[in-house]
Structure 1
Amino acid sequence: MHAFTTIAITAALLSSTLAAPLQPRSCSYNYLPNLWSISQHVPETPNGPFTTPFQVSQDIGKRDLIVSFTGIPSGSYGCQLEFDFKPNPSASVTGIGNPQNLNVYAINGDLPATVTWDSITPVTGSLVGTWTFPTGNDLKVAKTIVINSFVCQPTMNFRIQVANDGAKGYVSDPEDATSGLRISHNC
């Protein structure tokens, strides 16, 4: 019995001394991507780059948002595309058919010299995420929405559009250096 007690006490002491407290991880964030608005009904017209507002709509055709994050450090790991929402009176969702449901597509390679509906369509890749922009009372609550994880690249480009082809309306949110679309990395 004495040997069992000694082993049990030794095991308990070892397990308590080996369990080091976990340090919180610190992430790096890239906010304020370059944005372009491209319109299906004026497919050759460029609009951008700008950094705010985040706006995706569908009325006379789709008005998609092209998003380009640059300056992601070489050697970064664990990149995630996120929407970091902070309550703001300018954030809004209007329309019918759930325009708040958004699809995200990868863009293959570099952006064309002039970003338009016609120039982006051939380089738009696969669907990489679907997410829901906050609505109603959720517009009063801060939240981070993880859209998807990716292998980090120095430049990461995406296309965002209203998911429902039958929807009419838009979502809009001001972007700034602490909220909106972001890439998190090195977490």
Structure 2
Amino acid sequence: MKFITTFALAVISTVYGKTLALPLEARDSCQYNYLPQLWSISQHQPTSSNGPQTSVVDVNQDIGRKDLIVSFQNIPQGSWGCNLQFDYKPGHGAYVWGIGDPQVINVYAINGNLPTQPTWDNITPLTGSLVGTFQFPTGTALNEPKLVWINSLVCQSTLNYRLAVANTDRVKGGVYDTDDAGSGLRISHNC
């Protein structure tokens, strides 16, 4: 019996030792897609489009709603574990203005391909289900970096979303930020 126990422990320790010696997968080496294409669309001017551009995140409700169309393109084929995130970093002139919690932002999926120039009128029929809601930093939180996870998604080469103020019945105000190659809206994948 002592031989069997000793033999079993020797086998287990050998296998365990070899398992630890195997190279680890790069689980902590996420890839990121920053700087999505952005279009501003306005309920007040339903046939106008402002974009594409890559830097200004401006979502508000004042004289009608002003939503933001976000398109992440060129996500590598075979990517897995896509996450939509807002990687906030201070120092980009971000602000929240108005009343009624304008910092609460809804994110909707866009079904199908985007029109060449998205407008309020041609995006509304393509707007799909709510995929997430997030809180834009406010007050002293604007002085601290913050990573906001919005939702996990199935990876595709292009992912399109519509951002809108969440509480449209009581909000007059909005959020503003400037994205760059290391902060703002992003897709993380292969984590």
Give the TM-score, by structure 2 length. 0.88
Q: Secondary structure at the match of 1:17?
A: helix
- Counterparts in 2 of 1:15 and 1:86: CA distance versus 1, 3 Å: farther
More displaced 10-residue stretch of structure 1: 55-64 or 9-18: 9-18
Offset, 1:31 = 0.6
Indicate which of 164, 177, 182 corresponds to 1:178: 182
Q: Which residue pairs with 2:17 in the alignment?
A: 17
From 89, 98, 105, the equivalent of 1:95 is: 98
Q: Distance in 1 between matches of 2:5 and 2:156?
A: 56
Unaligned runs of 5+ in 1: none
Q: Deviations over 1:104-145 (max 9, x none)?
A: 000001001221000100000000100101111211111211
1:137-156 CA-to-partner distances (Å, cap 9, x unmatched) read: 21111121111111111111
SS at match of 1:139: helix
2:31 to 14, 28, 33: 28
Say if 1:28 and 1:9 are closer, same or farther in 2 by CA, change over 3 A.
Answer: same
Deviates more, 1:18-27 or 1:32-41: 18-27
CA RMSD of aligned residues (A): 2.1
Range with bigger deviation, 85-94 or 19-28: 19-28
CA distance in 2, matches of 1:16, 1:138: 46
Identity %: 58
- Secondary structure of 2:54's counterpart equals coil
SS in 2 for 1:173: strand
Which residue is equivalent to 1:159? 162
Count of residue correspondences: 187
SS at match of 1:134: coil
Instruction: Give the C-alpha shift of residue 64 in structure 1.
Output: 0.2
Q: What do the CA deviations read for 1:32-86 (whole angstroms, capped 9, x no partner)?
A: 0110111111111111111111111111111000001111111111111111111
